[in-house]
């Protein structure tokens, strides 16, 4: 059975959605990153980068959420264009990587500097808030002309989108007013949320209890770079 190492963050939730859409049997294995479980030797043997998600099935080990999406969809021949020379395949790769290298990193850094980083942070927050808004603006403009992200139908690109789109009000710090600026993002998010697989994926979070407190121990595991500042001080 496929082993799925996860927590409730956007990137693992993409994989939960795909697993549910594909109807694959899997064992959900929680990795509580606020307790430092990502640094356990057993998990580092799966992903030496110490991040979730990761999957293991038979002799196959995969990490990085977008690699997992693409591998499983290709293998199962579902939710992805399989003709490697087709325009749809090219569009799928472009938008999947846009989410991987733009939406995810800039949204994540916007969260960090908005909600976690100590002062002074005006410069960094301004940079990442600007870039997060710019990237989501690209998605918004695209969705104003397309029902789904690629090919006119639901695909792994929409699943990658869904992982982060659920968090946009928190990412941008604008609450429900966010959707006034991004109505097409909200339209597609609502469409995916209505799918039974998405509801099952969301319910996965309730199977295990993850540490909620962002205390000194959690900060040590999530932001180990701060140890260098402490030593320098």
Residues 184 and 130 in one domain: yes
CA-closest candidate to residue 114, choices 183, 53, 38, 168? 168
- pLDDT tens, 190-200? 999 999 999 99
Whether 16 is in a domain gets the answer: yes
Q: For residue 146, what pLDDT band results from cuts at 50, 70 and 90?
A: very high
Residues 98 and 65 in one domain: no
Tell me which residue range forms the domain holding 49: 2-79+201-211
- pLDDT tens, 122-143? 999 999 999 999 999 999 999 9
Which residues have C-beta within 8 Å of that of residue 8, sequence separation ≥ 6?
A: 205, 210
Into how many domains does the chain fold? 2
Whether 9 is in a domain gets the answer: yes
CA angle 69, 73, 76 (to 5 degrees): 145
- 228 has a pLDDT exceeding 90: no
Whether 218 is in a domain gets the answer: no
Q: For residue 232, what pLDDT band results from cuts at 50, 70 and 90?
A: low
Residues 70 and 154 in one domain: no
Rounded Cα distance, 3 and 22, in Å: 15
Task: Check which CATH number belongs to the domain holding 139 and give it.
Answer: 1.20.1050.10
Task: Check which CATH number belongs to the domain holding 12 and give it.
Answer: 3.40.30.10
Residues 64 and 109 in one domain: no
Query: Mean pLDDT, to the nearest integer, of 158-170?
Result: 98
Residues 71 and 137 in one domain: no
Cβ-count burial 71-97 (b if 16+ within 10 Å, e if not): ebbeeeeebbbeeeeeebbebbbebbe
Residues 61 and 161 in one domain: no
Residues 111 and 187 in one domain: yes
Residues 108 and 185 in one domain: yes
């Amino acid at each position: 059975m496929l082993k799925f190492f996860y927590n409730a963050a956007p990137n693992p939730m993409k994989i939960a959605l795909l697993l549910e859409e594909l109807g694959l049997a899997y064992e959900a294995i929680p990795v509580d990153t606020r307790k430092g479980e990502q640094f356990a030797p057993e998990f580092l043997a799966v992903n030496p980068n110490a991040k979730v998600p990761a999957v293991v099935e038979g002799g196959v080990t995969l990490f990085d959420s977008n690699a997992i999406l693409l591998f499983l969809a290709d293998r199962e021949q579902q939710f992805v264009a399989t003709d490697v020379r087709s325009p749809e395949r090219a569009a799928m790769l472009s938008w999947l990587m846009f989410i991987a290298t733009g939406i995810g990193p800039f949204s994540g850094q916007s969260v960090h500097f908005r909600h976690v980083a100590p002062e002074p942070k005006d410069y960094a927050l301004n940079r990442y808030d600007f870039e997060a808004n710019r990237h989501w603006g690209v998605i918004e403009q695209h969705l104003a002309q397309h029902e789904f992200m690629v090919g006119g139908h639901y695909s792994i690109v929409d699943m990658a989108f869904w992982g982060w789109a659920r968090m946009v009000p928190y990412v941008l710090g604008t609450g429900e007013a966010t959707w006034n600026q991004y109505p097409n993002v909200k339209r597609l998010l609502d469409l995916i949320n209505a799918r039974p697989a998405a509801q099952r994926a969301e319910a996965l979070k309730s199977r295990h209890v993850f540490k909620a407190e962002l205390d000194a121990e959690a900060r040590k595991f999530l932001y180990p770079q701060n140890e260098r500042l402490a030593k320098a001080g």
